[in-house]
């Protein structure tokens, strides 16, 4: 600890900080622009000036930039000194020479950091009479709007985009007062994290284009704490609603998970909530004409009571994209032995294996914060930028860990970003990537290897064997693999916090076993060795834990299909699941033919809903509360952002009503009841109720408002229906209210509905909600880990090493290629994401292309498990011979990969 | 009077070949230095009181002593000659580069040896085409004669030396911006600390010295510290190349003892003011120094004396203001240059200098408004040292702040309705057309 004196009062601060962060986290307001808690200091904007004094006797002092000055023990500064206040106001005056004076009609107004800082410095009168400089804006694609005239040249955008996120197509051009931030020409910003520019930019140069299409002021948005549903990482988000429409997603800081950033899929994928494909009323199939027709709630429940009569053989098909509560309600309705997790046999097998490895083995699974701090990483079989994007962003930071030691040796403070990057240059810590195909992170990798899933597993086992000779040896290992495996093993062994990443992508259990064997071999000497699995969906782990997490494989979708086939099922309830994405089309078709009654609870009209007898409209993540378990095993609560119109309600409420209608009543009035029932029933979820205070929680007798205190139009928002102000909807499930009234102070971390603090209207207010840069939110970061490793006990390695891959003569092994935009079920329904989704294709290796006499873009005919697809061919030189890449895109779903397929030129 | 730096140059301005240079005693310092221990060379430079000739006047020996030495320091280490001479009114390095490039190479080789440097660069101003040609030729000759490359003169010491011609901006002369430019990055300055000696070119230990500074090194080594100190009138060692431009009879540059007075420079070497022109003021050290006036003419031109008089010795290249030239126009000319050459990194410089230039232009056009002069004064204060990222803006406002002090009435004459110094009243709104360059994206 160091003692610093601010305006002659002593304060204790942590060592190694700069004055700006020390002051901000002590609660002082110092305006700043170029400093960012994740990207640290460069000293460009000169806004955060304070006066520093040599000692007590020094009365003159000198102006220093607080972001570039260490908060060293004994430092004496003044924030309120008149000279430095004048200077800070002048910085705003300079910026305002060219900044548009149109705050009232600017779409950043009300959440603009520049606006806040202007008010903070006290600059208000314009003294210049000269013409402003102007810029031409660029069209940057469907995500971001560009308005360069607003730019104040803080350089944060390029520092985030290029330095932090590894982007290449945004940069700074020109010089003096004609500095321009953009692309070298108009075009889509390519980086997967471009949306963060919305929050990184201190003013409105980069704004959310999807928000602009249904624009609402920040203060008019009703917001709630939420969790992203578009991959397995569970990034924390803040969805905002107005007039029953979801308007945008902002990042919700969680020090352990997403920190300050989101990926573009998570930020712009929300529009499925507003989709025309939404199911908004209960539907019952008309027996006469076969059409699904709207029905009242009573009629539907009456109908359900007929189907789900006492003694009826009902099965439930759960979903990895539905909440724990919804899955639990279904499981309660049908009974544990008739509850099926609703994923394919292969996925079930892999999920179970992953959970077993993480719970029974000695290796811990890291949070994203831990990932960013790893100093050697080996990715086995994942294309993380496309399957778990923010994990990729964390890895981009992890490769800086080792080179940062050079910076420390030179006594350069770690927050001096430009100096640190200068020392590091292009040095990177060890990152090794073995995948079926080349991935975007290859550009920062020390070594890469591409092979079939079996060959990846063999490389993994070879690494494990190099680490511990008692791990199984790889038979007939190629000469080229031995040195590679050795160098990977050496780097992992010498690292302080080595990390192995694997996941579901390859569809190979052997790959997971190999990853586990490596990390277990590391764990013998290094308790910090960590293992992270990339999961397919937002609640894959939660569902896996619910279905026992065991390897017995008794409960996959095929088993459900078999039961139906054998005529042992009267009715099936499908929860938030499109079976056509899970299994081969024929099997799904057969299921619907054979099953007498199919009840679907979902929010989007998909192929499964189209075949159902009864369709119940479920709330999306924005319209319901619930818990999701991310790939780390962290259970996180999301809260309803708004009350939808129509008959939509939470899936668990539909299931509760169905239970009541079928005379199996449960006393579930609110979410808390479901949570306590779940904790009683399944000990693994014991702590889930503790993620957040219960619905009865009050501060000073008040709930926490979802609407900001400046929310406008409260009394008139429904005036077209009735001029009398309506009572706000009740929320019996949480301590949040659908109102602007309630506790105005800082809520507990799980109830942060927005980042706002007096004087801080922009997202920069986040700094008021945690105690140090990158540190936990006040209280603690929300979420509870449900899985911890077993530390004691013998480690027994997996023994089965697969045979080397043999290319076949007339078939190619199809492996899945994931796309950040397009491979996830829900986000593709957002127009902005759809615009970025590639068209289906087949990627083949150069050798195979030569053999099959296929050129780039030639039309191919592919036969997989009896079905024929016509796709354009793309030559991907990174693919190994005999392996082809089939993208996970609409039109190609329901193919269990990897699978052998025949490929030929279109006749 | 000895003129070690320029005494050997040919009257026809052709550069000395390596052979010619050796004949007049050239490269003796390399032979001598290679027999010396590197710390002894650093000590000699320290004792010689040589101060950096780039403008700041930092003692060279002290700068060198910050270079990490020993076997466990990061390699390679770099020495860079800052030959990005772009200060308006300054042309002393050009004289040295064109007239005797071997002298610079010799200075660099000796310095590099003293600092245990592996690679040296000459960072040359883009416009100095003739110098570039001559340096290239000299480097080739030096390599052929084993003064450069592996095992210089069969010693254990090796040095690679390369010429880099800048893409051309004033800011590249700032030593850390120079490093960025040399790395192929945007020429923006870096924050100090860390100093280049700790983390310089490509993050490795680096010393950046001015051309004239490095040209002094061989003479200190060959002829000794005492001789070198004796060249000077003051405690700063050696000679200095002084230059003078403006309405004087013989503008030019001359190598003279350090501490020669401004009066002697103006009256003896430059031949006094041109007929019909009266002396009004002088920028003693290039465009980014404060004006001095008649009363200061007796000040000896050395770092401390000029500082005491309220300005800086800078590069020692003087610009004389006469009574027929409007100080507002002169200030406008300079501020427009500095505003254009701002790198655009920090707010005060990027936004403040164009504002200053716009106000000056309005005043120059007779369209100034009440309060303009006060804004200018305030801007000069706010753009002072420490407030901006590098020294460009503080230097840029020096001539303006002193012009406001000494020639305030000329500025006030340009406030609305009055006439400017040239006696004519401008009616056009030409300040409205004020642009620094065209925006490439427009």
Residues of A in contact with B190 (CB under 8 A): 418-419, 422
Can you tell me the mean pLDDT for B316-326?
A: 95
Q: Assess whether pLDDT exceeds 70 at residue B385.
A: yes
- Shared domain check, B180 and B281: no
SS3 B345: coil
Q: Assess whether pLDDT exceeds 80 at residue B434.
A: no
- Interchain proximity B169–A86, CB inside 8 Å: no
Greatest alpha-carbon span in chain A: 95
Tens-place pLDDT, residues A790-818: 887 778 899 999 999 999 999 999 999 99
Does residue B405 sit within a domain?
yes
Residues of A in contact with B353 (CB under 8 A): 176
| Residue of chain A nearest B349, judged by CA positions | A176
Model confidence band, residue A708 (pLDDT cutoffs 50, 70, 90):
very high
- Interchain proximity A173–B352, CB inside 8 Å: no
Residues of A in contact with B350 (CB under 8 A): 94, 153, 176-177, 179
Q: Assess whether pLDDT exceeds 80 at residue A421.
A: yes
Q: Assess whether pLDDT exceeds 80 at residue B328.
A: yes
- Interchain proximity B347–A174, CB inside 8 Å: no
Tens-place pLDDT, residues A349-373: 999 999 999 999 999 999 999 999 9
Min distance B28 CA to chain A CA atoms (Å): 37
Q: What is the DSSP string of A179-213?
A: -EEE-SSS-----TTGGGHHHHSSSSSEEEHHHHT
Q: Assess whether pLDDT exceeds 70 at residue A551.
A: no
Model confidence band, residue B360 (pLDDT cutoffs 50, 70, 90):
very high
| Residue of chain B nearest A133, judged by CA positions | B435
Can you tell me the mean pLDDT for B309-335?
A: 95
For chains A and B, count residue pairs whose Cβ atoms are closer than 8 Å.
135
Tens-place pLDDT, residues A505-521: 999 999 999 999 999 99
Q: Is B408 on the interface with A (CB under 8 A)?
A: no
* Complex ipTM: 0.93
In whole angstroms, give the CA distance from residue A888 to residue A383: 13
Question: Residues near B68 by Cβ (< 8 Å), separated by ≥ 6?
Answer: B74, B197, B198, B205
The predicted pLDDT at position B426 comes to: 45
- Shared domain check, B222 and B268: no
Does residue B436 sit within a domain?
no
Task: Please report which residue ranges of B235-323 form alpha helices under DSSP H.
Answer: 262-264, 303-308
The predicted pLDDT at position B417 comes to: 56
Residues of A in contact with B393 (CB under 8 A): none
10 Å CB burial of residue A831 (0-12, 13-18, 19+) is middle
Q: Nearest-CA neighbor of B218 among B426, B65, B24?
A: B24
User: Which of A177, A412, A416 is opposite residue B351, by nearest beta carbon?
Assistant: A177
Q: Is B206 on the interface with A (CB under 8 A)?
A: no
Q: Nearest-CA neighbor of B211 among B86, B374, B323, B343?
A: B86
Residues of B in contact with A180 (CB under 8 A): 439-441
Beta strands in A204-342 (DSSP E): 206-208, 222-223, 226-227, 236-242, 245-251, 283-285, 292-294, 314-317, 339-340
Residues of A in contact with B436 (CB under 8 A): 176-178
Residues 164-203 of B with CB under 8 A from A: 169, 186, 190-191, 193-194, 198-199, 202-203
Task: Using the 3D structure, point to which of B183, B210, B230 is the last residue of a domain.
Answer: B230
| Residue of chain A nearest B169, judged by CA positions | A175
Min distance A145 CA to chain B CA atoms (Å): 17
Q: What is the DSSP string of A682-736?
A: -GGGTTGGGGS--TT--BTTBPEESS-TT---TTTTTTTT-SSPPPPPP-SSSSE
The predicted pLDDT at position B438 comes to: 39
Model confidence band, residue B439 (pLDDT cutoffs 50, 70, 90):
very low
Task: Using the 3D structure, point to which of B259, B289, B322 is the last residue of a domain.
Answer: B322
Can you tell me the mean pLDDT for A445-450?
A: 97
The predicted pLDDT at position A583 comes to: 86
Our count of domains for chain B comes to 3
- Interchain proximity A416–B388, CB inside 8 Å: no
Reading the block at residue A544, the tokens are 């896996």
Residues 47-76 of A with CB under 8 A from B: 47, 49, 62-64, 68
| Residue of chain A nearest B388, judged by CA positions | A46
User: Which of A94, A174, A176 is opposite residue B348, by nearest beta carbon?
Assistant: A94
Share of chain A above pLDDT 90, in %: 89
- Shared domain check, B279 and B176: no
**Residue A406 dihedral angles phi and psi, to the nearest 5°:** -60, -40
Min distance A434 CA to chain B CA atoms (Å): 31
Does residue B187 sit within a domain?
yes
- Shared domain check, B282 and B151: no
Can you tell me the mean pLDDT for A530-551?
A: 87
Residues of A in contact with B344 (CB under 8 A): 153, 174-179
SS3 A227: strand
- Shared domain check, B131 and B102: yes
SS3 B395: helix
- Shared domain check, B157 and B22: yes
Q: Which one of 2.40.50, 3.40.50, 3.90.550, 3.40.228 gives the CATH number of domain A364-528?
A: 3.40.228
Min distance B376 CA to chain A CA atoms (Å): 12
The predicted pLDDT at position A552 comes to: 47
Task: Suggest the residue from A49, A94, A117, A400 to mutate for an interface test with chain B (most B CBs closer than 10 A).
Answer: A94
- Interchain proximity B193–A153, CB inside 8 Å: no
Reading the block at residue A903, the tokens are 């490929």
Is the distance from CB of A564 to CB of A592 less than 8 angstroms? no
- Interchain proximity B440–A173, CB inside 8 Å: yes
Is the distance from CB of A354 to CB of A535 less than 8 angstroms? yes
A816 forms beta bridges with: A886
Q: What is the mean pLDDT of chain A?
A: 94
User: Which of A87, A136, A179 is opposite residue B344, by nearest beta carbon?
Assistant: A179
Task: Using the 3D structure, point to which of B230, B248, B270 is the last residue of a domain.
Answer: B230
The predicted pLDDT at position A786 comes to: 96
Tens-place pLDDT, residues B14-58: 999 999 999 999 999 999 999 999 999 999 999 999 999 999 999
The predicted pLDDT at position B5 comes to: 96
In whole angstroms, give the CA distance from residue A154 to residue B102: 44
User: Which of B194, B350, B369 is opposite residue A153, by nearest beta carbon?
Assistant: B350
- Interchain proximity A419–B439, CB inside 8 Å: no
Q: Assess whether pLDDT exceeds 90 at residue A537.
A: yes
The predicted pLDDT at position A907 comes to: 65
- Provide the residue ranges of all domains of chain A, joining segments of one domain with +: 2-96, 123-274, 364-528, 812-905
**Residue A699 dihedral angles phi and psi, to the nearest 5°:** -115, 125
- Shared domain check, B332 and B285: no
Share of chain B above pLDDT 90, in %: 91
The predicted pLDDT at position A554 comes to: 57
In whole angstroms, give the CA distance from residue A235 to residue A634: 11
10 Å CB burial of residue A22 (0-12, 13-18, 19+) is buried
The predicted pLDDT at position B214 comes to: 98
Tens-place pLDDT, residues B262-289: 999 999 999 999 999 999 999 999 999 9
In whole angstroms, give the CA distance from residue B51 to residue B64: 11
So what's the architecture of A812-905 in CATH?
Beta Barrel (2.40)
Q: What is the DSSP string of B300-334?
A: BSSHHHHHHTTS--TTSEEEEEETTS-HHHHHHHH
- Shared domain check, B269 and B365: no
Does residue B427 sit within a domain?
no
User: Which of A46, A129, A133 is opposite residue B346, by nearest beta carbon?
Assistant: A46
- Interchain proximity A136–B441, CB inside 8 Å: yes
Out of A421-425, B396-400, B413-417, which region has the weakest mean confidence (pLDDT)? B413-417
- Interchain proximity A175–B344, CB inside 8 Å: yes
User: Which of A176, A180, A423 is opposite residue B441, by nearest beta carbon?
Assistant: A180
Residue pointed to by tokens 């003293």 = B114
Q: Nearest-CA neighbor of A654 among A283, A381, A376?
A: A283
Does residue B307 sit within a domain?
yes
The predicted pLDDT at position A793 comes to: 72
Vertex A308, ends A307 and A311: CA angle to 5°?
115
Q: Assess whether pLDDT exceeds 70 at residue B420.
A: no
Can you tell me the mean pLDDT for A883-907?
A: 90
Q: Is B215 on the interface with A (CB under 8 A)?
A: no
Q: Is B374 on the interface with A (CB under 8 A)?
A: no
The predicted pLDDT at position B437 comes to: 42
Out of A434-448, A516-530, B426-440, which region has the weakest mean confidence (pLDDT)? B426-440
- Interchain proximity B431–A86, CB inside 8 Å: no
- Shared domain check, B143 and B80: yes
CATH number of the domain where residue B104 is located: 3.40.50.11540
Question: Residues near B182 by Cβ (< 8 Å), separated by ≥ 6?
Answer: B80, B121, B123, B164, B201
Query: What is the H or E stretch that residue A560 is in?
Result: helix A557-565
Residues 11-40 of B with CB under 8 A from A: none
- Interchain proximity B441–A90, CB inside 8 Å: no
Q: Nearest-CA neighbor of B324 among B282, B373, B279, B360?
A: B279
The predicted pLDDT at position B418 comes to: 52
Higher pLDDT, A662 or A272: A272
- Interchain proximity A135–B439, CB inside 8 Å: yes
**Residue A494 dihedral angles phi and psi, to the nearest 5°:** -85, -5
Residues 416-455 of A with CB under 8 A from B: 416, 418-419, 422-425
Residues 72-111 of B with CB under 8 A from A: 74
Residues 132-171 of B with CB under 8 A from A: 169
Out of A368-382, A495-509, A706-720, which region has the weakest mean confidence (pLDDT)? A706-720
- Interchain proximity A410–B434, CB inside 8 Å: no
In whole angstroms, give the CA distance from residue A826 to residue A831: 11
Is domain A2-96 classified as CATH 3.30.1550.10?
A: no
| Residue of chain A nearest B382, judged by CA positions | A87
- Interchain proximity B439–A46, CB inside 8 Å: no
Q: Assess whether pLDDT exceeds 60 at residue A424.
A: yes
The predicted pLDDT at position A309 comes to: 86
User: Which of A176, A182, A410 is opposite residue B350, by nearest beta carbon?
Assistant: A176
SS3 A43: coil
- Interchain proximity A410–B194, CB inside 8 Å: yes
Model confidence band, residue B91 (pLDDT cutoffs 50, 70, 90):
very high
Does residue B5 sit within a domain?
no
Q: Assess whether pLDDT exceeds 70 at residue B442.
A: no
- Shared domain check, B182 and B167: yes
In whole angstroms, give the CA distance from residue A43 to residue A35: 8
- Interchain proximity A176–B194, CB inside 8 Å: no
Does residue B121 sit within a domain?
yes
- Shared domain check, B316 and B350: no
Q: Which domain holds residue B354?
A: 327-422
Does residue B57 sit within a domain?
yes
Vertex A479, ends A477 and A481: CA angle to 5°?
70
User: Which of A47, A90, A153 is opposite residue B344, by nearest beta carbon?
Assistant: A153
């Amino acid at each position: 600890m160091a003692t610093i004196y601010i305006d002659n009062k002593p304060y204790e601060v942590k060592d190694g900080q700069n004055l700006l962060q020390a002051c901000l986290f002590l609660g002082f307001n110092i305006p700043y622009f170029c400093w960012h808690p994740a990207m640290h200091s460069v000293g460009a904007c000169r806004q955060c000036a304070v006066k520093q004094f040599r000692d007590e006797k020094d009365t003159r002092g000198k102006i220093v930039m607080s972001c570039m000055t260490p908060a060293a023990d004994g430092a004496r500064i003044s924030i309120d000194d008149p000279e430095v206040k004048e200077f800070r106001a002048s910085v705003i005056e300079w910026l305002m020479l060219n900044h548009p004076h149109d705050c009232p009609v600017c779409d950043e107004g009300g959440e603009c950091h520049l606006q806040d800082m202007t008010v903070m410095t006290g600059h208000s009168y314009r003294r210049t009479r000269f013409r402003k400089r102007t810029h031409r804006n660029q069209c940057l694609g469907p995500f971001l709007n560009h308005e360069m005239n607003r730019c104040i040249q803080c350089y944060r955008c390029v520092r985030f985009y290029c330095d932090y996120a590894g982007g290449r197509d945004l940069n700074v051009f020109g010089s003096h007062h004609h500095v321009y931030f953009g692309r070298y020409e108009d075009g889509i910003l390519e980086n997967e994290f471009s949306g963060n520019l919305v929050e990184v930019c201190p003013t409105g140069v980069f704004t959310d284009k999807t928000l602009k299409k249904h624009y609402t002021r920040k203060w008019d948005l009703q917001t709630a704490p939420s969790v992203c549903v578009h991959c397995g990482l569970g990034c924390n988000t803040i969805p905002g609603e107005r007039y029953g429409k979801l308007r945008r997603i902002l990042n919700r800081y969680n020090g352990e998970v997403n920190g300050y950033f989101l990926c573009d899929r998570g930020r712009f994928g929300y529009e499925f909530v507003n989709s025309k494909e939404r199911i908004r009323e209960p539907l019952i199939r008309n027996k006469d004409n076969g059409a699904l027709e709207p029905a009242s709630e009573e009629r539907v429940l009456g109908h359900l009571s007929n189907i789900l009569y006492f003694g009826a053989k009902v099965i439930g098909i759960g979903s990895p994209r539905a909440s724990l509560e919804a899955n639990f309600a279904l499981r309660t309705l049908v009974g544990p032995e008739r509850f099926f997790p609703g994923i394919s046999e292969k996925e079930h097998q892999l999920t179970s294996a992953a959970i077993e490895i993480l719970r029974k083995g000695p290796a811990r699974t890291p949070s994203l914060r831990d990932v960013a701090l790893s100093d050697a990483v080996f990715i086995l079989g994942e294309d993380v930028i496309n399957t778990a994007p923010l994990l990729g962003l964390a890895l981009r930071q992890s490769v800086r860990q080792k080179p940062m030691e050079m910076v420390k040796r030179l006594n350069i403070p770690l927050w001096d970003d430009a100096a640190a990057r200068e020392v590091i240059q292009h040095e990177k810590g060890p990152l090794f990537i073995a995948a079926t195909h080349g991935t975007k992170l290859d550009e920062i990798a020390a070594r890469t290897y591409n092979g079939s899933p079996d060959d990846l597993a063999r490389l993994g086992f070879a690494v494990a064997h190099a680490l511990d000779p008692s791990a199984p040896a790889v038979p007939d290992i190629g000469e080229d693999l031995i040195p590679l495996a050795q160098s990977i093993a050496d780097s992992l062994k010498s690292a302080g916090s080595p990390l192995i990443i694997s996941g579901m992508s390859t569809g190979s259990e052997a790959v997971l076993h190999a990853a586990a064997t490596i990390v277990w071999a590391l764990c013998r000497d290094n308790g910090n060795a960590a293992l992270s699995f990339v999961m397919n969906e937002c609640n894959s782990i939660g569902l896996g834990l619910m279905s026992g997490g065991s390897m017995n494989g008794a409960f996959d979708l095929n088993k459900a299909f078999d039961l139906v086939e054998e005529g042992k099922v009267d009715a099936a309830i499908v929860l938030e699941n499109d079976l056509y994405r899970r299994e081969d089309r024929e099997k799904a078709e057969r299921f619907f033919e054979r099953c007498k009654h199919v009840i679907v609870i979902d929010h989007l009209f998909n192929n499964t809903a189209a075949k159902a007898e009864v369709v119940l409209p479920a709330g999306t993540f924005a319209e319901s509360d619930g818990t999701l378990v991310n790939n780390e095993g962290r259970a996180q609560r999301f809260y309803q952002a708004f009350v939808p119109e129509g008959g939509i309600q939470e899936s668990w409420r539909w299931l509760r009503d169905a239970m009541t209608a079928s005379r199996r009543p449960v006393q579930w009035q609110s979410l808390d009841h479901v949570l306590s029932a779940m904790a009683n029933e399944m000990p693994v979820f014991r702590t889930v109720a503790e993620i957040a205070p219960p619905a009865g929680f009050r501060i000073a007798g008040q709930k926490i408002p979802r609407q900001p205190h400046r929310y406008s139009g409260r009394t008139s928002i429904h005036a077209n229906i009735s001029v009398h102000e309506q009572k706000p909807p009740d929320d019996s499930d949480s301590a949040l209210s659908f109102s602007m009234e309630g506790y105005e102070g800082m809520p507990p971390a799980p109830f942060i509905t927005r980042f706002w603090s007096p004087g801080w209207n922009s997202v920069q207010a986040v700094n008021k909600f945690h105690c140090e840069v990158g540190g936990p939110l006040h209280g603690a970061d929300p979420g509870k880990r449900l899985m911890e490793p077993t530390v004691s006990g013998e480690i027994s390695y997996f023994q089965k090493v697969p045979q080397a891959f043999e290319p076949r003569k007339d078939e190619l092994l199809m492996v899945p290629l994931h796309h950040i935009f397009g491979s996830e079920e829900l986000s593709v329904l957002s127009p902005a994401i759809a615009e970025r989704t590639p068209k289906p294709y087949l990627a083949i290796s150069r050798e195979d292309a030569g053999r099959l006499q296929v050129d780039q873009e030639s039309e191919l005919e592919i036969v997989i498990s009896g079905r024929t697809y016509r796709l354009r061919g793309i030559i991907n030189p990174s693919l190994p011979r005999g392996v082809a890449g089939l993208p996970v895109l609409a039109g190609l779903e329901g193919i269990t990969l990897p699978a052998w397929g025949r490929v030929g030129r279109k006749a | 009077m000895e003129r070690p730096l320029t005494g050997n140059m040919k009257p026809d301005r052709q550069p000395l070949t390596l052979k010619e240079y050796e004949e007049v005693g050239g490269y003796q310092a390399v032979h001598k230095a290679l027999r010396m221990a590197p710390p002894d060379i650093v000590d000699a430079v320290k004792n010689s009181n040589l101060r950096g000739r780039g403008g700041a006047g930092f003692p060279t020996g002290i700068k060198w002593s910050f270079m990490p030495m020993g076997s466990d320091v990061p390699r390679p280490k770099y020495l860079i000659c800052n030959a990005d001479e772009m200060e308006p009114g300054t042309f002393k390095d050009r004289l040295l580069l064109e007239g005797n490039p071997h002298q610079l190479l010799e200075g660099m080789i000796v310095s590099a040896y003293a600092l245990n440097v592996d690679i040296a660069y000459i960072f040359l101003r883009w416009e100095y085409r003739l110098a570039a040609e001559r340096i290239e030729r000299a480097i080739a000759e030096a390599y052929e004669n084993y003064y450069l490359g592996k095992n210089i003169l069969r010693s254990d010491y090796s040095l690679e030396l390369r010429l880099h011609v800048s893409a051309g901006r004033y800011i590249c002369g700032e030593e850390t911006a120079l490093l960025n430019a040399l790395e192929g990055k945007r020429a923006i300055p870096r924050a100090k600390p860390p100093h280049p000696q700790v983390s310089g070119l490509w993050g490795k230990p680096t010393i950046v010295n001015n051309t004239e500074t490095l040209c002094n090194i061989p003479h200190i080594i060959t002829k000794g510290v005492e001789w070198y100190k004796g060249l000077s009138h003051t405690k700063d060692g050696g000679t200095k190349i002084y230059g003078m431009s403006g309405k004087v009879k013989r503008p030019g540059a001359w190598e003279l003892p350090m501490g020669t007075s401004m009066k002697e420079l103006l009256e003896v070497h430059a031949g006094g003011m041109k007929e019909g022109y009266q002396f009004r003021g002088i920028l003693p050290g290039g465009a980014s120094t404060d004006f001095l006036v008649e009363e200061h003419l007796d000040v000896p031109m050395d770092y401390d004396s000029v500082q005491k008089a309220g300005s800086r010795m800078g590069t020692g290249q003087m610009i004389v203001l006469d009574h027929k030239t409007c100080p507002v126009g002169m200030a406008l000319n300079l501020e427009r240059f500095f505003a254009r050459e701002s790198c655009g990194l920090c707010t005060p410089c990027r936004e403040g200098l164009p504002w200053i230039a716009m106000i000056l232009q309005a005043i120059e056009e007779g369209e100034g408004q009440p309060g303009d002069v006060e804004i200018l004064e305030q801007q000069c204060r706010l753009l002072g040292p420490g407030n901006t990222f590098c020294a460009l803006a503080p230097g840029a406002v020096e001539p303006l702040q002193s012009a406001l002090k000494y020639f305030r009435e000329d500025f006030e004459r340009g406030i609305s309705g009055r006439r400017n110094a040239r006696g004519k009243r401008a009616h056009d709104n030409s300040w409205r057309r004020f642009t620094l360059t065209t925006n490439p994206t427009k």
